[in-house]
Structures are given as structure tokens and as C-alpha cells.
Structure 1
Amino acid sequence: MSQQPFKFKQFTIQQDRCAMKIGTDGVLLGAWSSLEHQPESILDIGTGTGLIALMLAQRSEAGLIDALEIEENAYEQAVDNFEQSDWGDRLFCYHAGFDEFVEEMQDEEKYDLIISNPPFYTEDYKTGDDNRDQARFADALPLTELIVGASLLLSQNGHFDLVIPFTEEKNALEIADSHKLFPLKITRVKGTEGSPVKRSLISFGFEKKEAIIDELILEISRHNYTEDFKKLVSHFYLKL
């Protein structure tokens, strides 16, 4: 994995101390998440390098953008990335587990947007790299814990957005429904036209209505990106 800084149009991500490097999932979620409800406060759960929080700082006028990271090296790197950005005064990172954060914060002011690119490998094996395993295995932050916690921290008109494997979509919708969170929009992501759906981008809210469901195809062929994908991420990637 690259140890080199990842340069976006308006900020740079240092990632040498993070187990999980910049990936398409995080960029997709940070660009896709709707800001139409004009969130004043945002929480990025499992921020890693700080990528999604920085993307939302670029895209929004939110005065408060909190991030949460349990792994110490990633936490320190996110703090550094925040401080080196143009939005350091709006960004704050907590070094804590999600369970203790929820316990501490659930009686405080709620967040208008909660967003997460959570760990989702559920296979029995581990890589042997404890930091990488913690960043990418679902037992570090089970989907149920994530959704339940988000429901406790979300404002009444807020959105909870996440990216998960398509194979987890049905499970996520069922868990959310049991905690009075309902899908507002679902975008299913495919690598190419002929490939299977790989990811689901889901936006939840407390209002129950018919969800908008669409599809996003990333590439026509290798490194030949679709217009939909380029339009979505054009404010971030240098070469798009």
C-alpha cells in the first residue's frame, strides 16, 4: 500500500501512519452524501486518515465537524491532516471507541449528518497486522452497534450515511428499521456495466418514505471512467 501523500484539489492526505489508505469507498461516500438539508454539525465515525471529514469540510458550511478514531496512529494522522487543511478550525477528532463516545454524547446536542465508511470484512481470517485488522474487520465495529449508536446521536431531521458491501444491504436495512431509521436513498455501485453490484451507499433518516434507488457504474473500461463517476468526484480528484 502506498505510503505517499494523496493530493486532492483542495487538501492533501498524509497516510503513512494509517493501516487503511485512501480508497474509492471513502471518496465515493464523501462526494455522494447529500447536504441539501444543510447540516450544521457532522460526525464521521471511524475517520481513518480524516478523508471524509475533510471532503465534507470542503463541500459544506457546517460549523462543527467531529471525527472519531479508535486506532492511535490513525487518530494522530487525522489530527495532523485536519491541522494542515484550510478548515482546521471546524474539524475536531476524538480518540475513542464508538461505544464510549455514544455513552458520553447521546444526551448532548445531536448531529445533523452522521457518516461512516465502517470496517466490513467479516471473514474468519485476520491479516496479522493488528492495526489493519482493527480498521477493516467488522468485529471492531459491528454493523448493529454502528446503526444503533447513530440512531442515538442523530438529530430529528438528520441523515445517517454509510457505504457497505452490497451483500450487507438487506441486513443493514433490517437493523435500521428496528431502530426507526429508514432509507432515504440507496445507490448501488458497480465497477463496470457487466460486473455485479459491489457496494451500497445508503442514506437513512427518521422519516419513513419511499427511498430513491439508483445505480452508479464507475468505469467503462480500466481507468476509463464513466461520466457519472467523474461528475460525482470531479471536485476532489486532481486528474478528473
Structure 2
Amino acid sequence: MSVETFKFKQFSVEQDKCAMKVGTDGVLLGAWSSLEHHPESILDVGTGTGLIALMMAQRSEAFLIDALEIEENAYEQAVENFEASDWGDRLFCYHAAFDEFVEEMQEEEKYDLIISNPPFHSEDYKTGNETRDQARFAEALPLPELLEGASLLLSENGHLDFIIPFSEEEKAVRIAATYQLFPRKITRVKGNAQSAIKRSMLSFSFHKTETQEDELILEISRHNYTEEFKKMAAPFYLKL
């Protein structure tokens, strides 16, 4: 194992080839996403190291867990991480852009859960230059593209779950409605009780229901985690 290895309780993630390292956003989304509808097929869009797909393999009985990654080095790394895990027979990674994948697969495959923490939501991609960050955001995978593509690949009772900056939440809900996707749950994430809301985790489906809304606070003080966060992350993090 290299110094870049991130060890979880049931799997390890090599990340030396990836720009997107293992981060809190990915772990949060992978732990938060509901499996109450017992998805049999899952798609992780922009898988990076393969982290969320691996978390889904640990948490679910889904027989098919596909992942999608456009960047060649990250794709190769995800494949290696899948093969090194206990769930290699259920995990498969495609090397393609999302729009190409949708075009190819929309008549072939429907997924019960589509989940995404795309690169433009990662702190690794923040340059401090707002204009460049916005351009990179739009370039990586625009929200309309993610939402439209998901609407074509999602099964009738499927869920689309993703994590975005809180500032994008309203826009995401508005765009999703144009594809007949409606928010079933929204969790807003704060670093601590005093800090501003940083992230929104959203779950959409084709069924219009009352949206469950809540808030998740990660820390009481530095490295002193809330019970709620510990409960979510304990199946994965070694030190929780």
C-alpha cells in the first residue's frame, strides 16, 4: 500500500493517481443516501477513486453497481480499487463522459439509484479564483446535464442523490422539476453549529411528495464530532 492509501473498515482506497482525493463530501453522501427502496442497480457518476461505489457495495445487496469516470488515471484507479475489494464481482467502471454514457445506455439499462459527487463539488478543485471555479463547475458536468441524463437512466421508483454547494440548491430543485424530478429529501450540512451551511445533499424521484428537510452538523469543536455524524460515518471510518 502506498502512502496515498486511505483505509476504511472494510476496504482501502488507493488515490495516488487521482486529483480528487477521498474527502468528507463523498463519505457523507455515500453514508447518507437511502437504500430503503432496496435498489438492485446503482450508478455512481464521476466515481473518482471509486469511493462511493465501494460504500454502496458495502451497504447494499445491489447485484449491479456501475461507476462512470471520464478522467483516464482516475478510471484506472477506480478499477484497481474495485478489483482489490471484496465486491469486485458486483462493481464495474466505465471510461466515458456522462452524455455519451446516457446516449449509449438509456435504452439498455435503468438504475434504481443514481448517485454523484462530481469533481466540481470538491475542495480539491477550488482555486480561489471565482471565475475559474465557475468555469470549471460548468465544464465538469453542468447540473442540467446531470439532471437530464439521470431522468433518462432512472427507473420509475428510483432515486437520484447528489451533494452540491448550498448556493446551488435552489437552482438544482428548479432545473430538476423541468425533468419531472422532485426533491424527496434535503439535508443541509454545517461544519459546526455556528458556521454557515456549506453543502446540500439532495434526493430526487419522479414522485411528488412532501420534501423531508433537515440539517447535519459535523463537529462540536475541531475533531470532536457530533453523535449524528459519528453514527453515519462509523461503519466506514477506522477511528469512529
TM-score bracket relative to the smaller structure:
over 0.9
Q: Which moved more, 1:137-146 or 1:150-159?
A: 137-146
Structure 1 letter corresponding to 2:237: Y
* Counterpart position of 1:88: 88
1:189 matches 2:197: no
Cα displacement string for residues 15-37 of structure 1 (whole angstroms, at most 9, x for unaligned residues):
00001100000000000000000
- State the alpha-carbon separation in 2 of the partners of residues 191 and 96 from structure 1: 34
* Counterpart position of 1:29: 29
* Counterpart position of 2:131: 124
* Counterpart position of 1:72: 72
Q: How big is the shift at 1:138?
A: 3.4
Q: How big is the shift at 1:4?
A: 1.4
Q: Which runs of 4+ in 1 moved over 6 A?
A: none
Q: How big is the shift at 1:137?
A: 3.4
* Counterpart position of 1:230: 230
- State the alpha-carbon separation in 2 of the partners of residues 14 and 214 from structure 1: 33
- 1:37-76 to structure 2, matched below 5 A, reads 37-76=37-76
1:165 matches 2:165: yes
TM-score, normalising length: structure 2: 0.93
* Counterpart position of 1:107: 107
* Counterpart position of 1:174: 174
**Identity score, percent:** 74
Consecutive unaligned residues of structure 1, counting only runs of 5 or more, are 127-132
- State the alpha-carbon separation in 2 of the partners of residues 150 and 123 from structure 1: 28
- State the alpha-carbon separation in 2 of the partners of residues 190 and 168 from structure 1: 15
1:124 alignment partner, SS class: helix
Corresponding residue pairs, total: 232
Q: How big is the shift at 1:109?
A: 2.5
- 1:149-164 to structure 2, matched below 5 A, reads 149-164=149-164
* Counterpart position of 1:204: 204
Consecutive unaligned residues of structure 2, counting only runs of 5 or more, are none
TM-score, normalising length: structure 1: 0.93
